[in-house]
C-alpha cells in the first residue's frame, strides 16, 4: 500500500511510504476521531492512501500568521 503525505496548504509531497504491512494502528490513525480521519486521510483508486498534513514551511507561515490557522490541520 502506498501512503503519500501531502501538505494540505501548498500541496507539496512530504514523503511517500510504500509498505504492505503497515497498519492504521502503526500510523497512529486509530487515535483520530472519525471526523479527523475523514479530513486527513483520503483513499485513492489504486488502494493507496493520501494523508494531508502541514509541511514545515507552512507550519512556520501559520506561526507567523495565526489568522491562517483557521484552515490548519488538527495534527499540528
- The mark string for 5-24 relative to Zn ion (x by CB under 5 A, - otherwise) is --x-xx--------------
Total residues at interface with Zn ion (CB under 5 A):
5
Strands (E), the chain: 2-7, 13-18, 41-43, 49-53
Cβ 23 to Zn ion, closest distance in Å? 27
Q: Is 55 in the site for Zn ion (CB under 5 A)?
A: yes
Cβ distance to Zn ion smaller for residue 1 or 40:
40
Amino acid at each position: 500500500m502506498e501512503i503519500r503525505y501531502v501538505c494540505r496548504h501548498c500541496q507539496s509531497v512530504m514523503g511517500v511510504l510504500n509498505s504492505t504491512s503497515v497498519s492504521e494502528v502503526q500510523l497512529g490513525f486509530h487515535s483520530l476521531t472519525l471526523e479527523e480521519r475523514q479530513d486527513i486521510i483520503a483513499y485513492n483508486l489504486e488502494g493507496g492512501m493520501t494523508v494531508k498534513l502541514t509541511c514545515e514551511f507552512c507550519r512556520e507561515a501559520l506561526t507567523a500568521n495565526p489568522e491562517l490557522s483557521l484552515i490548519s490541520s488538527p495534527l499540528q
